[in-house]
Amino acid sequence: MSLRRGERAIEVLLFLCALASVGTTAGIIAVLAVETFAFFGEVSIVEFLTGTEWTPLFATKHFGVLPLLLGTTVVSVIALVVAVPTGLLSAIYLSEYAPERVRRVVKPVLEILAGVPTVVYGYFALTFVTPLLQQWLPGLSGFNALSPGIVMGLMILPLVSSLSEDAMRAVPRGLREGAYALGATRMQTALQVVVPAAFSGITAAVILAASRAIGETMIVAIAAGQQPRFTANPFVPIETMTAYIVQVSLGDTPQGTLEYRTIFAVGMLLFLMTFALNLLSSWLRARFREEYN
Amino acid sequence: MTTDVRPLPPTLSTIVRAGAQAAETAPVKIDVRDLNFYYGQKRALDGISMAIHANRVTAFIGPSGCGKSTFLRTLNRMNDIIPGARVEGAVRIDDHDAYGSGVDVVSLRRQVGMVFQKSNPFPKSIFENVAYGLRINNLTRSKAEMAERVEESLRAAAIWDEVKDRLHESALALSGGQQQRLCIARALAIRPDILLMDEPASALDPIATQRIEELVYDLKKAYTIVIVTHNMQQAARVSDYTAFFWLGRLVEYGRTDRIFTAPAEKLTEDYVTGRCG
């Protein structure tokens, strides 16, 4: 009987632990929602979503979020351009070509890249990649979207390759054999049979990587600049949504002011974007699992 | 293509008599000499020698793990993709060494088609499944020719009538039996001479199994067929020759009627009568 009571206590304890993280998330969403609501009491939501000037900290305030959104988009797109082809090719190598011994070493090493603190990536972008790029592109500013975009691509590459590789390895061996039996080469089998069969899993990996890129903060805060500009030019300083939030949080903006509330509105938008992408990604992965189980 | 359904004969002995028409010796298509096969250190096949005849159905029987599937897969070098696998001895197909140094595995596999135990259609449309082998081997010159070859293959695999109105739907929507016939059509599309079938009906219900068996019977006019089966009645029904494998060795090989009615080896007799295995 006392044993049973012990079991019950453990169960309650475990439940409370699980509740803590759910509760925290709910709390964050609540705070975001309340502050965002207050913000839109003073600023029109139409201006926020369609304005092309973002100057909440200036004397003449404009609250158009598009420059921040565009900055985030430009950096993320550059990151994906770097990470998706490289990540996919390395996944094909690991899943279809690499001998088991090589795979067992390379995959964990690749995943260690994901464990490097992002602040290190940020300084790597600012002090190494940007000067390197400036040798080839003389017009490149010290702060720009290109360099952090590339470095962010390297950061999310392990995510793309590791998850894509998982998806490709989940493709039944029988499908590969079917292709080989028809006279397909390894590359034909990989590109024409395995990748299409793993397509939803690979797409989920890419979307998750995109969501990570959008939410990434340190790299852009350090190397992209703090100038919200409505431009797709990757050579000039810009500001992303995350970098703006850092700028205001670290500055001397008084709490409760309109300027202060902007970060909750921007944060809410950021949250909705990554949340939607994560949902899409997990939906795709669930669908993928169904296909082959 | 016959569509009449042959009734399932009641006992083994009547089946064997019905299949006893293969009295002649057809030319040798595949000649195997002293074949050993290893997975790493483990020897899976031990000194296999046999001659497989053209335009005949040869069945491989034996208990699970006896090496019959492994042997089948040495004939189109499918085992090449398994790490640590090693082959000794000779496999000659049409008197060409299948394991010779200059052999192109891709063209070997075009000559020796294969159907697997578990149907494995690609996650593409029905049409694209059959067209895939034609595409990668550049076997057709025009779209019309490809459509023709696809239809021809689907007809040969006795599935055309069931799928002709939905060629561009996903192959994964077909039933298990239809998927397996689609895989046969896919293998036939590249016009191999030899068709290897690894327990092609083991996952199917009796009706679907019967259709596959009828198909095998029809296909031997044009192909040399080697079929692995767990089902002794199936071996007796569809094959002209039967090889009995036990623990990686070929115990007995001969005309199917003789293997089932007058086996030379005690082990074969015990197995085909169900006393062991």
Domain-embedded: residue B67: yes
Neighbours of A152 (CB within 10 A): 30
Residues 180-199 of A with CB under 8 A from B: 180-185, 188, 192-193, 196-197
Residues A197 and A99 both lie in one domain: yes
Domain count, chain B: 1
pLDDT for the residue numbered B274: 82
The residue range of the domain holding A155 is 66-291
Domain-embedded: residue B17: no
pLDDT in tens, B228-246: 998 899 999 999 999 999 9
Q: How far apart are CA A67 and CA B236, in angstroms?
A: 77
Domain-embedded: residue A50: no
Task: Work out the mean pLDDT of chain A and round it to a whole number.
Answer: 91
Among A278, A202, A244, which residue's Cα sits nearest to residue A71?
A: A244
Residues A31 and A97 both lie in one domain: no
pLDDT in tens, A66-76: 999 999 999 99
pLDDT for the residue numbered A216: 93
Q: Which of A95, A103, A182, A194 to mutate to test the interface with B (most CBs of B within 10 A)?
A: A182
Q: How far apart are CA B244 and CA B154, in angstroms?
A: 32
Domain-embedded: residue A61: no
Cα A129 to chain center, whole Å?
A: 20
Residue pLDDT tens, chain B, 277 long: 444 444 444 444 444 444 444 455 689 999 999 999 999 889 999 999 999 999 999 999 999 889 999 999 999 999 988 888 999 999 999 999 999 888 999 889 999 999 999 999 999 999 999 999 999 998 999 999 999 999 999 999 989 999 999 999 999 999 989 999 999 999 999 999 999 999 998 888 888 889 889 999 989 999 999 999 988 999 999 999 999 999 999 999 999 999 999 999 999 999 988 876 5
Domain-embedded: residue B192: yes
DSSP code of residue B164: G
Residues A272 and A238 both lie in one domain: yes
> Count of alpha carbons within 13 Å of A106, Cβ hemisphere only?
17
Torsion sign over Cα B62, B67, B69, B72: negative
DSSP code of residue B125: B
pLDDT for the residue numbered B166: 95
Residues A217 and A265 both lie in one domain: yes
Domain-embedded: residue B19: no
Q: Test B186 with A196 for CB contact under 8 angstroms.
A: no
Domain-embedded: residue A48: no
DSSP string across chain A: -HHHHHHHHHHHHHHHHHHHHHHHHHHHHHHHHHHHHHHHHHS-HHHHHH-S-B-TTSSS--B--HHHHHHHHHHHHHHHHHHHHHHHHHHHIIIIIS-HHHHHHHHHHHHHHTTS-HHHHHHHIIIIIHHHHHHH-TT--SS-SHHHHHHHHHHHHHHHHHHHHHHHHTS-HHHHHHHHHTT--HHHIIIIIIHHHTHHHHHHHHHHHHHHHHH--HHHHHHT-S-------TTS----HHHHHHHHHHTTPPTTSHHHHHHHHHHHHHHHHHHHHHHHHHHHHHHHHHHT-
CATH of the domain at B35: 3.40.50.300
Q: How far apart are CA B35 and CA A192, in angstroms?
A: 34
Q: A99 touching B, CB under 8 A?
A: yes
**Across the interface, which of A176, A183, A291 has its CB nearest the CB of B110?**
A183
Residues A79 and A179 both lie in one domain: yes
pLDDT for the residue numbered B22: 45
Contact between B58 and B226 under an 8 Å Cβ cutoff? The reply is yes
Q: How far is B254 from chain A (nearest CA, A)?
A: 28
Cα B254 to chain center, whole Å?
A: 17
Query: Could you give the strand order of the β-sheet that contains B241-246, starting from the edge strand earlier in sequence?
Result: B112-115, B194-198, B224-228, B57-61, B241-246, B249-255
Among B265, B207, B262, B201, which residue's Cα sits nearest to residue B235?
A: B201
Q: Which residues contact A255 (CB under 8 A, 6 or more apart)?
A: none
Domain count, chain A: 2
Domain-embedded: residue B4: no
Q: Test A181 with B78 for CB contact under 8 angstroms.
A: yes
Domain-embedded: residue A53: no
Q: B206 touching A, CB under 8 A?
A: no
Domain-embedded: residue A23: yes
Residues A122 and A258 both lie in one domain: yes
Q: A172 touching B, CB under 8 A?
A: yes
Tokens of A92: 């094909």
Contact between A141 and A224 under an 8 Å Cβ cutoff? The reply is no
Chain B residues close to A197, C-beta within 8 Å: 122-123
Domain-embedded: residue A86: yes
Residues A158 and A14 both lie in one domain: no
Cα A249 to chain center, whole Å?
A: 21
Residues A89 and A224 both lie in one domain: yes
Domain-embedded: residue A111: yes
The residue range of the domain holding B255 is 28-272
Q: B187 touching A, CB under 8 A?
A: yes
Chain A residues close to B78, C-beta within 8 Å: 177, 180-181
**Across the interface, which of A100, A181, A291 has its CB nearest the CB of B113?**
A181
Domain-embedded: residue B116: yes
Q: How far apart are CA B36 and CA A230, in angstroms?
A: 71
pLDDT for the residue numbered A253: 84
Contact between B204 and B22 under an 8 Å Cβ cutoff? The reply is no
Q: A177 touching B, CB under 8 A?
A: yes
Domain-embedded: residue B12: no
Among B181, B228, B258, B271, which residue's Cα sits nearest to residue B57?
A: B228
Domain-embedded: residue B23: no
Backbone angles phi, psi at A142, to 5 degrees: -60, -40
**Across the interface, which of A174, A183, A185 has its CB nearest the CB of B120?**
A174
Q: B81 touching A, CB under 8 A?
A: yes
pLDDT over threshold 50, residue A277 = yes
Q: How far apart are CA B118 and CA B198, in angstroms?
A: 9
Q: How far is A258 from chain B (nearest CA, A)?
A: 54
DSSP H or E segment with residue B196 = strand B194-198
Amino acid at A253: T
Residues A127 and A20 both lie in one domain: no
Residues A35 and A109 both lie in one domain: no
Q: B204 touching A, CB under 8 A?
A: no
User: Do the bridges between strand B224-228 and strand B194-198 make them parallel or antiparallel, or are there none, so unpaired?
Assistant: parallel
Residues A10 and A90 both lie in one domain: no
Q: Test B122 with A181 for CB contact under 8 angstroms.
A: no
Q: Test A197 with B122 for CB contact under 8 angstroms.
A: yes
**Nearest residue of chain A to residue B190 (CA atoms):** A182
pLDDT over threshold 90, residue A95 = yes
Among B12, B9, B6, B10, which residue's Cα sits nearest to residue B242?
A: B12
Tokens of A28: 């964050």
Burial of A38 (0-12, 13-18, 19+ CB in 10 A): middle
Residues A132 and A21 both lie in one domain: no
